[in-house]
Amino acid sequence: MEILGIGSAIFTEGRLVPNTELGHLEIKGKDAESRAAARVREDKKLSWKKWGKRVNKYLNVLETLFAPDLFILGGGVSKKYAKFAPYLKTHAQVVPAQLRNEAGIIGAALYARDLASSINHAS
What is the domain count for the chain? 1
DSSP 31: E
Residue 27 domain boundaries? 10-117
Residue 103 pLDDT more than 80?
no
Alpha-carbon distance values, 4 to 13, 31, 55, 84 (Å): 30, 10, 14, 19
- 2, part of any domain: no
Q: pLDDT confidence of 51, banded at 50, 70, 90?
A: very high
Q: What is the pLDDT of residue 114?
A: 82
21 part of a folded domain = yes
Mean pLDDT, range 83-91, rounded to an integer = 97
On the question of pLDDT at 120 being above 80, the answer is: no
DSSP structure class, residue 19: -
pLDDT at res. 16: 82
> Would the pLDDT of 104 be above 80?
no
Angle value at C-alpha 84, between 79 and 88, nearest 5 degrees: 120
Domain-embedded: residue 50: yes
pLDDT of residue 73: 92
pLDDT surpassing 60 at residue 14? yes
Q: For residue 105, what is the domain's CATH number? A: 3.30.420.40
